[in-house]
Amino acid sequence: MTTNALSLPAALRPRQVLSWFGVVPFFLFALLFLILPTLDIVLGAVQDTEGRATLENLGKLFSPSIRSAFWISIELSLLTAVLGCVFGFFIAAAVTLGGLPRFLRAALLTFSGVASNFAGVPLAFAFIATLGRLGLVTMLLRNWFDINLYGAGFNIVSFLGLALTYLYFQIPLMVLIITPALEGLRREWREAAESLGASGFQYWRLVALPVLWPSLLGTLALLFANAFGAVATAIALTGSSLSIAPIVLFAQIRGDVLNDPHLGYAIAFAMILLTAVANGIYILLRMRAERWVK
Amino acid sequence: MTGKNFWSWLAVTLGALYFLLPLIGMFEFSLRMQRDGYSFEAYRVVLADPQFQQTFGYSVVLALLTIVLGILLVVPAAYFVRLRFPGLRPIVEFITLLPLVIPPIVIVFGYIRIYNTSSILPLTGSWWGTNILLLFGYATLSLPYMYRSVDTGLRSIDIASLTEAAQSLGAGGARILGTVILPNVFASVLSGAFLTFAIVIGEYVFAALLNVNSFGPYMVWMGGNRAYEPSALAVVAFAITWACMGLMQLFTRFSKFSTARR
């Protein structure tokens, strides 16, 4: 009986076996430093200290302080996602469809690439230097227009201040994602609509928005997840004084000798759940959107 | 000027105002250290600070190592998946998307739980272990960007023919990867590398929770203790981000150019 290489199952032929050496390190790495750590959190959230299954940890999420932290986080993420989508859409629409010079479009996309990666600690410093007590805009408003921002109750270390700061990376992300979708709107669709007597408003309501809505809603979900996971900006800005979910988790991890580690598991689990759902919505809607943008 | 044009200009102008003011504010503030007018005093103080040099140097080395590790992990995997295991592609794509889905703070929390001093692999117990854990953590964070750019690069070349040609000349797997595939996708690898560099340089959460004194925690510490230096640091960080993105675009364009010429 001859067992030449071709009669073996495909995955066991010598050449294929050799190929596994290229792929295995990647999977091993992903298992050790991505999947197992995440799995440990998920399992830890539904186990007690002895490893028995329990829902007690997740129940702790509904204590008033944790619940309010999550609620503020959700509000912050939702608000900045919605505003980011709206402003990002208008800016992207202005440079793609608004008849502006072409160089503006290239400049805007380049800047959006930079700004969406400028999140984190430096961004917080930039906003403190601008809207802090001695910031540029605060001083200009006071000296030129006699408007006292801080006297009027504004504070950069607040929900509103954090929201203003988050928009700095939310809007560019929206611009980056929605510009290709807006460019996918074909000129013929508009011409067809107009030749049938549609007004600009009717074109948007009946043609453009139905094509765009999966992209719009998907990006909204993505921006939500993006804001929800942001920690460094919030810590650098507020010094962990504002109680949002990631900051509570941060404090929990830092002080886990004193605190209950299983509460940390539960908070982390809830965060994964929220961002996973938001990202899942994004991926699903994105697949729908790609039917049109070809 | 038409009505449509007016609204477009308005949107862009308001956007520009919102995006430029913090940059101007940050730069202006960084110049105000000396009371009698603008100066670069804050930059001088920061750049001369031994702690800045130490933490920044550390972060640069870590970023470069992350890029090397990322290339070693992603290039062979993406290559073999494309060439021999197309069925694995959805799985690999799903895995490389995960770091964007799971918040980084959750990933590092998992590390602290799995690799703490009382675990089988007590990485957090030693200086070397912690650094390796941080390096692997950053490689995880950079997976989505690395994989996507390498995969795009591989798509633009005919890897099957290249591999067969190399094999018929007697090259082995490692040699094909190192001397045939990698040079061909180098421009796209670099674009992923610059993004990784920008991300690692300013990263805060991983470093802070693993108690490593890198550039991110140093910036936060400065923010809590000084007035003008943080703005100078933010300007430096922004310049680095800007440079990385600029180089990235340059190499993306270069790789498009080289494939167009083929």
User: What's the pLDDT tens digit per position in B189-206?
Assistant: 888 898 899 889 889 999
Structure tokens at A90: 């208008």
Averaged pLDDT score across all residues of chain A: 83
Residue A86's identity, in one-letter code, is V
User: Is residue A49 over pLDDT 50?
Assistant: yes
Q: Looking at the complex, does the CB of residue A136 fall below 8 Å from at least one CB of chain B?
A: yes
d(CA A138, CA A130): 7
d(CA A131, CA B29): 11
Q: What pLDDT score was predicted for residue B108?
A: 92
Q: What pLDDT score was predicted for residue A209?
A: 84
Distances (CA, A) of A184 to A212, A220, A292: 9, 19, 7
Specify the pTM.
Answer: 0.87
Residue A36 within a domain: no
Radius of gyration, CA atoms only, chain A: 25
Instruction: Specify whether the CB–CB gap between A275 and A227 falls below 8 A.
Output: no
Do the Cβ atoms of B29 and A249 come within 8 Å?
no
Residue A44 within a domain: no
Residue B9 within a domain: no
Q: Looking at the complex, does the CB of residue A264 fall below 8 Å from at least one CB of chain B?
A: yes
In angstroms, the separation between the Cα of residue A264 and the nearest Cα of chain B is 9
Q: Which residues in chain A are closer than 8 Å to B11, comparing Cβ atoms?
A: 90-91, 93-94, 98
Instruction: Specify whether the CB–CB gap between A133 and B21 falls below 8 A.
Output: no
CATH code at position A256 = 1.10.3720.10
| CA nearest to B11, candidates A96, A16, A62, A111 | A96
Predicted ipTM? 0.86
| CA nearest to A53, candidates A41, A63, A45, A64 | A45
Residue B7 within a domain: no
Do the Cβ atoms of A261 and B113 come within 8 Å?
yes
Residue B103 within a domain: yes
Residue B231 within a domain: yes
Window from A26-30, A56-60, A231-235, A249-253 with minimum mean pLDDT:
A56-60
Structure tokens at A175: 């611009």
Is the CA virtual torsion A156, A158, A163, A168 positive or negative? positive
Tell me which of B200 and A65 has the higher pLDDT: B200
CATH code at position B80 = 1.10.3720.10
Instruction: Specify whether the CB–CB gap between A231 and B205 falls below 8 A.
Output: yes
Residue in chain A lying closest to B23 (CA): A126
Residue A150 within a domain: yes
Q: What pLDDT score was predicted for residue A148?
A: 82
User: Which of B:156-185 have CB within 8 Å of A?
Assistant: 173, 177
Radius of gyration, CA atoms only, chain B: 22
Grade residue A120 by pLDDT with cuts at 50, 70 and 90: confident
Q: How many CB atoms lie within 10 A of CB A176?
A: 18
Grade residue B260 by pLDDT with cuts at 50, 70 and 90: very low
Q: Which residues in chain B are closer than 8 Å to A111, comparing Cβ atoms?
A: 19
Instruction: Find the domain containing B226 and state its range.
Output: 52-254
Window from A46-50, A212-216, A284-288, B219-223 with minimum mean pLDDT:
A46-50
User: What's the pLDDT tens digit per position in B206-237?
Assistant: 999 998 999 999 999 988 888 888 899 999 98
Q: Looking at the complex, does the CB of residue B19 fall below 8 Å from at least one CB of chain A?
A: yes
CB-based contacts of B252: which residues, under 8 Å, 6+ apart? B187, B188, B191
Of chain A, the end-to-end C-alpha distance in Å amounts to 53
User: Is residue B255 over pLDDT 80?
Assistant: no
Residue A5 within a domain: no
Residue B1 within a domain: no
d(CA B94, CA A30): 11
Tell me which of A135 and A12 has the higher pLDDT: A135
| CA nearest to B196, candidates B129, B124, B147 | B147
Instruction: Find the domain containing A167 and state its range.
Output: 68-291
Do the Cβ atoms of A21 and B173 come within 8 Å?
yes
Residue A279 within a domain: yes
Interface test with B, best of A33, A162, A241, A244 (most B CBs within 10 A): A33
Residue A53 within a domain: no
Share of chain B above pLDDT 90, in %: 31
CA B1, B5, B9 angle in degrees (round to 5)? 110
Residue B28 within a domain: no
CA A48, A49, A51 angle in degrees (round to 5)? 65
Residue B208 within a domain: yes
Q: What pLDDT score was predicted for residue A96?
A: 85
What residue has token string 């069925």?
A: B87
Averaged pLDDT score across all residues of chain B: 86
Residue A35 within a domain: no
Q: What are the DSSP calls for chain A, one per residue?
A: ----GGGS-GGGSHHHHHHHHHHHHHHHHHIIIIIHHHHHHHHHHTB-TTS-B-SHHHHHTTSHHHHHHHHHHHHHHHHHHHHHHHHHHHHHHHHHHS---HHHHHHHHHHHHHHTT--SHHHHHHHHHHHSTT-HHHHHHHHHH---TTTTT--SSSHHHHHHHHHHHHHHHHHHHHHHHHHTS-HHHHHHHHHTT--HHHHIIIIIHHHHHHHHHHHHHHHHHHHHH--HHHHHHHTT-S--HHHHHHHHHHTTTTS-HHHHHHHHHHHHHHHHHHHHHHHHHHHHHTTT--
- How many domains in chain B? 1
User: Which of B:127-146 have CB within 8 Å of A?
Assistant: 136-137, 139-140, 143
Interface test with B, best of A15, A118, A121, A248 (most B CBs within 10 A): A121
| CA nearest to A81, candidates A143, A163, A6 | A163
d(CA B239, CA A114): 10
Do the Cβ atoms of A22 and B237 come within 8 Å?
no
Do the Cβ atoms of A90 and B24 come within 8 Å?
no
Residue A137 within a domain: yes
Residue B16 within a domain: no
Instruction: Specify whether the CB–CB gap between A117 and B245 falls below 8 A.
Output: yes
- The burial of A206, by beta-carbon neighbours within 10 Å (0-12 exposed, 13-18 middle, 19 or more buried), is given as exposed
d(CA B235, CA B30): 8
- How many domains in chain A? 1
